[in-house]
Structure 1
Amino acid sequence: MSGETGSLRALLIGKICGLTEKQSPVTPLPGLTLSRIESPTEPTSYILPPSICLSLQGAKRVLIGNEAYTYNAESLLITSLDLPVTAQVVEASEERPYVGITWEIDMRSLTELIVESGIGLTAPGQVYRGMALGRVTRQILDAFRRLVELVDEAEHAQVLAPIIRKEILYRLLTSPQGPRLIQIALSTNRSRQIAKAVTYLKKNFQKTLKMRELASFVGMSTSSFYQHFKTATGMSPLQYQKKLRLCEARRLLLAGCDVTTAAFKVGYESSSQFTRDYRKFFGLPPSRDAQKLQNETYAAGELNSEEDH
């Protein structure tokens, strides 16, 4: 780690720790999440959109299918598809908390930048995994430092934030991980067809999945579609659909829905099968998991209320 890179990281850690003193995670700008966590966490499952994830201090592990990706101060995580993941902070303490940044990538802006710059317009139609680790550079850290500093400059953020975001996208596109973003942004390769299937599944996860019909919908043979979908997402289309259903069911349970109703709303025909799948994915039965999350939300709200006073 160079001295300049270390100084940039220290500046970001100090800034984020100040911003997250009362609440974590914090989302001060659209698409940007800042977090500080003082102890390792239990695995949590959710849908991670196309994003760049940095750990400025500590480490985090993300599972996609059966593959694990761990990133720390020297590495970053890039996702180029909406992916059901299971994540946990694996390195954190009160003395050295986990300090992280997650920035959601706007795919329309990415496509516009590719066209404008010409980067990757002749890229081959190879399908990459929709998640990868990359190296944290001084340029990436400096761009995020300027983006985070805009949290305290609301009057300038509307003009400057898009410029800094464009710089970050450019740095990503010209990095070794660029092809993973290019494959999704461009409409000239098979990866775009997989992205189309992902979008369809997100909108229609309650419906019974018919592989042949979905493959035909995106213009691929059934065998080719299955193979390329699994390459990109790390799981089969059926596994992907199941995880979408379970994440939506969790949201419904937190909103007050009962277990049976939530199961049928997301497409399950058997509440007992739903309970088994839910427990396997989230680690607790539906009702206990919902109660735990509600208690944590209530406790966090009480803490923030006390600190405000």
Structure 2
Amino acid sequence: MDRLQELTEIIARHTEEDGIFATRIPRLSLVRMSKRTEPMPGVQQPALCLIAQGVKQVLLADEVFEYGPARHLIASADLPITGQVIQASPDEPYLSLKLDLDLNALSTMLIEMPPPRAGFGIAKSCGKALCLSRTDPQLLEAAVRLLRLLDTPEDIAFLAPLAEKELLYRLMRGDQAQKLQRMLMPESRLQQVNRAIAWIRQNYDKPFSVERVAQEARMSTSSLHEHFREVTAMSPLQYQKQLRLQEARRLIMSEALDAASAAHRVGYDSPSQFSREYRRLFGAPPIQDISRLKAEPGRYAPASA
């Protein structure tokens, strides 16, 4: 059987309805959507996202990443993105897998692996922490081998770590290998930006200076500006704004806070500024946005994967 077809059938068998489903395999989740979804902002954490069927579009600031079957996306930092399934139907639903990257396992492999052959790991024209690649047969075979374990759950505890290691090995031998290696090296530019990202995520609801963020990242202010934008396609303050607005939306949706209380909770002093920026990101003011999310939840799939 064609490996892509087998991957499609496994995901379909373990996702009988639309949604995102955690599996018994650690860090692995499956996604099924039977119709086109609306754009949905969220934070993409370091992960491998591989599509078996359908097409998805991911926006990082003003950059568009569109991918479909036998292509995969690698995220190497926590990134505010907007995701949208743009091709799906009840007969041919969107089907994908997401494997959160085990950074400890990747670090161990980086130490133990022999040097790659010449020409491997060169990520052409992709300086961002979000990159697309074509899925080669070896990587696809490793993904299928991991997902086959869902049909024999008694084998997962013993064989899933081996299958996941093979999948990570294929990634470390693929055309995004250099990006993954930079993510793991303590003083690489990507790791420095990741330190800045981690600090902003912990302090997003408080005012901060770019100088303070640069100090946390162990970079000069000018270097932070340059490399933060190179990795995330936005400035540190733009990154903070997206985190604030996404958390405010979650508070209004999940904890039933009113817009003013949510705005104050995430660090806004001006309710009118909050309303303007919320509408700019989500396409509607808070009350209208939350009403449509509750009325048609199936049209608003989470951004990741």
* Equivalent of 2:22 in 24, 27, 39: 27
Q: CA deviation at 1:110?
A: 1.3
Kindly tell me: are residues 291 and 11 of structure 1, through their superposed partners in 2, closer, same or farther at Cα, counting changes over 3 Å?
same
What whole-Å deviation, never above 9, does each CA across 1:254-277 have from its counterpart, x for those lacking one? 222221111111111111211211
CA contact (8 A) 2:128 2:232 kept: yes
Find the aligned partners of 2:268 and 2:77 in 1 and give their Cα distance: 25
Bigger Cα displacement from structure 2, 171-180 vs 30-39: 30-39
Kindly tell me: are residues 188 and 109 of structure 1, through their superposed partners in 2, closer, same or farther at Cα, counting changes over 3 Å?
same
Kindly tell me: are residues 20 and 134 of structure 1, through their superposed partners in 2, closer, same or farther at Cα, counting changes over 3 Å?
same
Find the aligned partners of 2:239 and 2:217 in 1 and give their Cα distance: 16
Unpaired runs of 5+ residues, structure 1, are: 301-309
CA contact (8 A) 2:46 2:77 kept: yes
Q: CA deviation at 1:213?
A: 1.5
CA contact (8 A) 1:51 1:103 kept: yes
Q: CA deviation at 1:119?
A: 5.0
Taking only the aligned residue pairs, the percentage that are identical comes to 37
Bigger Cα displacement from structure 2, 137-146 vs 81-90: 137-146
Structure 1 residue 187 corresponds to structure 2 residue 186? yes
Structure 1 residue 209 corresponds to structure 2 residue 208? yes
* Equivalent of 1:97 in 74, 93, 101: 93
Partner secondary structure for residue 22 of structure 2: coil
Give TM-score, length-normalised by structure 1: 0.88
Find the aligned partners of 2:288 and 2:159 in 1 and give their Cα distance: 45
Q: CA deviation at 1:299?
A: 11
Q: Give the corresponding residue for 2:286.
A: 286
Q: CA deviation at 1:30?
A: 2.9
Structure 1 residue 147 corresponds to structure 2 residue 133? no
Find the aligned partners of 2:293 and 2:158 in 1 and give their Cα distance: 38
Partner secondary structure for residue 287 of structure 1: helix
Unpaired runs of 5+ residues, structure 2, are: 301-305
Find the aligned partners of 1:111 and 1:60 in 2 and give their Cα distance: 30
What whole-Å deviation, never above 9, does each CA across 1:139-195 have from its counterpart, x for those lacking one? 222222122222233322122112111111111111111111111111132221111
Give TM-score, length-normalised by structure 2: 0.89
What whole-Å deviation, never above 9, does each CA across 1:215-235 have from its counterpart, x for those lacking one? 122221111111010001111
Structure 1 residue 9 corresponds to structure 2 residue 13? no
- Structure 1 counterpart of 2:47, which letter? S
Q: Give the corresponding residue for 2:238.
A: 239
- Structure 1 counterpart of 2:80, which letter? P
Find the aligned partners of 1:151 and 1:282 in 2 and give their Cα distance: 36
Q: CA deviation at 1:23?
A: 4.6
In the TM superposition, 1:217-256 aligns within 5 A as: 217-255=216-254, 256=256
What whole-Å deviation, never above 9, does each CA across 1:107-143 have from its counterpart, x for those lacking one? 22211211122558xx9xxx93101111111222222
Find the aligned partners of 1:64 and 1:35 in 2 and give their Cα distance: 20
Higher relative helix content: 1
RMSD: 2.2
Partner secondary structure for residue 69 of structure 2: coil
* Equivalent of 2:103 in 107, 113, 119: 107
- Structure 2 counterpart of 1:253, which letter? I
- Structure 2 counterpart of 1:133, which letter? L
Q: CA deviation at 1:209?
A: 2.4
Find the aligned partners of 2:226 and 2:299 in 1 and give their Cα distance: 45
What whole-Å deviation, never above 9, does each CA across 1:27-65 have from its counterpart, x for those lacking one? 113322211212211111000001111111111010101
Partner secondary structure for residue 101 of structure 1: strand
Kindly tell me: are residues 147 and 51 of structure 1, through their superposed partners in 2, closer, same or farther at Cα, counting changes over 3 Å?
same
Structure 1 residue 58 corresponds to structure 2 residue 54? yes
Kindly tell me: are residues 212 and 16 of structure 1, through their superposed partners in 2, closer, same or farther at Cα, counting changes over 3 Å?
same
Find the aligned partners of 2:5 and 2:265 in 1 and give their Cα distance: 47
- Structure 2 counterpart of 1:107, which letter? L
Kindly tell me: are residues 19 and 75 of structure 1, through their superposed partners in 2, closer, same or farther at Cα, counting changes over 3 Å?
same
Find the aligned partners of 1:204 and 1:178 in 2 and give their Cα distance: 31
Find the aligned partners of 1:248 and 1:167 in 2 and give their Cα distance: 36
Find the aligned partners of 1:67 and 1:210 in 2 and give their Cα distance: 26
CA contact (8 A) 1:260 1:271 kept: yes
CA contact (8 A) 1:129 1:180 kept: no
Find the aligned partners of 2:281 and 2:115 in 1 and give their Cα distance: 39
Q: CA deviation at 1:74?
A: 3.4
Find the aligned partners of 2:286 and 2:179 in 1 and give their Cα distance: 35
Find the aligned partners of 1:299 and 1:166 in 2 and give their Cα distance: 35
